[in-house]
Structure 1
Amino acid sequence: MAKETGRKIIAQNKKARHDYLILDTYEAGLVLTGTEVKSLRMGRASLVDGFAQLDDGEAWLHNVHIPEYTQGTWTNHSARRKRKMLLHRAEIDKLVHKTQESGHTIVPLALYFKDGRVKVEIALAKGKKEYDKRQTLREKQDRRESERVISATRRRQRA
């Protein structure tokens, strides 16, 4: 059997991009058990309530829901346990320094397979205020409307 290549998305946290201003992104490996990987291969996971925390120079991923593997036995994992993230020391040090600033946090953006290994994309983020969220939505709607008008005029020109 050939080894997997490329990037296969398992789960995305779309709400994070709405609720936070993304400042920087990192790719981290995850320390998982066998039943967790099997459950992820079935494409089942949720990043909605997930967050990352830095303790004693180690990065941990909390509240990411990976459901129990259905064919698992007594060796099955708990669905919301904390999982260790694998990052370079320089990245951890940078994140520790940045998260000490007011309002900065680390949120998971995506969970995916990369060359057969489970990776998580995390972001250094700053929480948006309510008016910032409305402004972002307004800009998105304006962009959609202008694209719609442009495509309509192009269609008319072709006809």
Structure 2
Amino acid sequence: MAKEKENPNYKVIAENRRARYDYAIENDIECGIILEGSEVKSLRQNGGNIAESYAMVEDGELWLVNSYIAPYAQAKTFGHEEKRRRKLLVSRKELARLWNETQRKGMTLVPLVMYFNHRGLVKMKIGIAKGKKNHDKRATEAKRDWSRQKQRLLRHGE
């Protein structure tokens, strides 16, 4: 498959590719993230991973838990903790909506992508998701395989 053109408005730092396979994403929301200077510099060198992380609402605040940002080599004494909890920035209205959504049975907040926006700020897309069962995952995979096979048939005319 051909590589998509890169969007000039933002640069992707880390993507949770497994999230769309493991979860049915109902809605997504963009939010800011509070970082230290060495964390931002490390992210500019592509030193981040959000594959095993999740978001949660606690005490009226939105937190990103278990995300990894590699230590910045030039910041020895003023470095940062790699897997610390990071606060996510959303409006009060969105925070209330996220809290209500997560109170529904089986709903969770999953980080989808972390990126630099057009102003150079680190932003994150959080998905409101419900976990898929194994048969749902197999159905998604079968649908994807069938669409690939259709494209192949159309291309080669067999």
- TM-score (ref. length: structure 2): 0.93
Two-structure CA RMSD over aligned residues (Å): 1.0
SS in 1 for 2:104: coil
1:64 aligns with 2:70: no
Counting aligned pairs with the same residue, the percent is 41
Corresponding residue number in structure 1 for 2:29:
26
Corresponding residue number in structure 2 for 1:135:
139
Q: Partners in 1 of 2:110 and 2:134 — Cα distance?
A: 18
1:85 aligns with 2:63: no
1:112 aligns with 2:115: yes
Q: 1:28-67, aligned counterparts within 5 Å? A: 28-67=31-70
5+ residue gaps, structure 2, are 1-7
Corresponding residue number in structure 2 for 1:13:
16
| Larger Rg, first or second structure (1 or 2) | 1
Q: Partners in 1 of 2:19 and 2:12 — Cα distance?
A: 16
Q: What is the total number of aligned residue pairs between the two structures?
A: 150
**1:90-141 alpha-carbon deviations (Å, 9 max, x no partner):** 1100010010010000010001000200001100000000000000000000
How much does 1:57 deviate?
Answer: 1.2
SS in 1 for 2:19: helix
Q: Which structure features the higher share of helix residues? A: 1
- TM-score (ref. length: structure 1): 0.92
Q: Partners in 1 of 2:63 and 2:110 — Cα distance?
A: 11
Provide runs of 4+ in structure 1 moved above 6 Å. Answer: none
